[in-house]
Amino acid sequence: MDFRRSTLVLIISFFLLNVFLFFTYRDLKQQMAPEASNNINIIDQMRSDGISMVGLSNDALEASLVQITPVVMETPNEEQENQSSTIDKGMITSILMTPIPIEVTSVINQDSFDHLTKFVKKSAFRGDEYQLFSYQLSNKIVLYQQSVKDIPIIDKKAQLMVNLNENNEAISYEQSYVGDAEILGEPRQLISSQVAVETLYLAGSIPARAVIEKPRLVYYETLTLSDLSIYSPAWYIELKIGDGGMITKKVDAIRGNIISTDVE
C-alpha cells in the first residue's frame, strides 16, 4: 500500500472514529439526563407557541456515509436530445430546442413535472441519478438534486437547475455533477425527524407561529480532500415564517448537532 493510499485510509478512519465518539457521547448524555427532563413534552410546547408541523416521525432509520470521487462531465448528444449544450468549468449549460410544459393547476405536485422529470432522467448527463427536489414557480426555477440510494445530495455541485419562461415551460438548464458515489461502511442509526425538529426548537432556531414542512433526509458534505469528499446524512427542514418567507435548517442525522450553515 503506497503512502498516498495509507494517508487516505488514516484520514477516513479518523473521521469515522470522530463520528462514532460524537454519537456515543450523545447517547451517554441522554442516558444521564435527569428523569424529570424526559417528562417535558416538547411537541406540546411547540404547539403552545403556535408552531404547526407536518409529517414528523419517530421511526428509526439508518443510512451510511458516502464517499464522492470527482469525474469529468460530458455534454449530452445534442441532435437526439432536443438541446444545444456547452460545458465550462464543470458546468453544463443547455438550451432546449422545444420548451417542455409544466402542468400548472390549482394543486402543484411532482406529477406536474412528469414530462420534465422524464426528460432530465433520459437526456441530462447521468440524469437517472437526479430527483426532483424543489420548485419555485414564482422565480421560474425547478431544482433537481443528484441522489444516492434515493437520498438527495444538498450541494450546488450536485444540482440541475431548470429555468422556466413566462408560460411555465422549461427552456434551459444548468447542471453540475459532484462525482461517483461509494457507500462507506455499514448503515448507521439515525436520529428521528422529530428529534431533529425538537433539537432546533430547544436551540431557539424555530420562531413562534412557524409552519414546519415534512423533514427530508439528505446528504451534506462533511469532509473535503483534493480528490474526494465525504457526505453524511442530515435532516433538511423547511420553515415557513410569518412574513411569507422560507428558511431552511439542517441537523446532522448521526450526531444530532445543528449544522451552522443553512442551505440557500
Q: Do the domains 71-178 and 3-68+182-252 match in fold?
A: no
Domain ranges of the chain: 3-68+182-252, 71-178
CA distances from 240 to 122, 195, 223 (A): 34, 19, 30
pLDDT of residue 37: 43
Neighbours of 185 (CB within 10 A): 11
Of the candidates 105, 30, 49, the one whose C-alpha atom is nearest the C-alpha of residue 241 is 49
> Per residue in 235-247, is it b (16+ CB within 10 Å) or e — as a string?
bbbbbeeeeeeee
Superfamily of domain 71-178: YycH protein, domain 2 (3.30.310.160)
Q: Is the pLDDT of residue 132 over 70?
A: yes
Q: Is the pLDDT of residue 38 over 50?
A: no
- pLDDT digit string (tens) for 218-247? 999 999 998 999 999 999 999 998 777 889
> Per residue in 99-126, is it b (16+ CB within 10 Å) or e — as a string?
ebebeeeeeeeeebbeebbebbeebbbe
- Cell triple for residue 169? 415551460
- Cell triple for residue 129? 441519478
Q: Is the pLDDT of residue 33 over 90?
A: no
pLDDT of residue 36: 34
Q: Is the pLDDT of residue 127 over 70?
A: yes
pLDDT of residue 213: 93
pLDDT band at 186 (very low <50, low <70, confident <90, very high): very high
Q: Which position has the higher pLDDT, 260 or 174?
A: 174
One-letter amino acid for residue 191 of the chain: I
pLDDT of residue 12: 66
One-letter amino acid for residue 1 of the chain: M
Q: What integer best gives the mean pLDDT of the chain?
A: 87
H/E run at residue 63 = strand 62-69
Q: Where are the alpha helices (DSSP H) in 83-141?
A: 114-123
Q: Which position has the higher pLDDT, 61 or 2?
A: 61
Q: Which CATH number fits domain 3-68+182-252: 2.40.10.120, 2.40.128.690, 3.20.20.70, 3.40.50.720?
A: 2.40.128.690
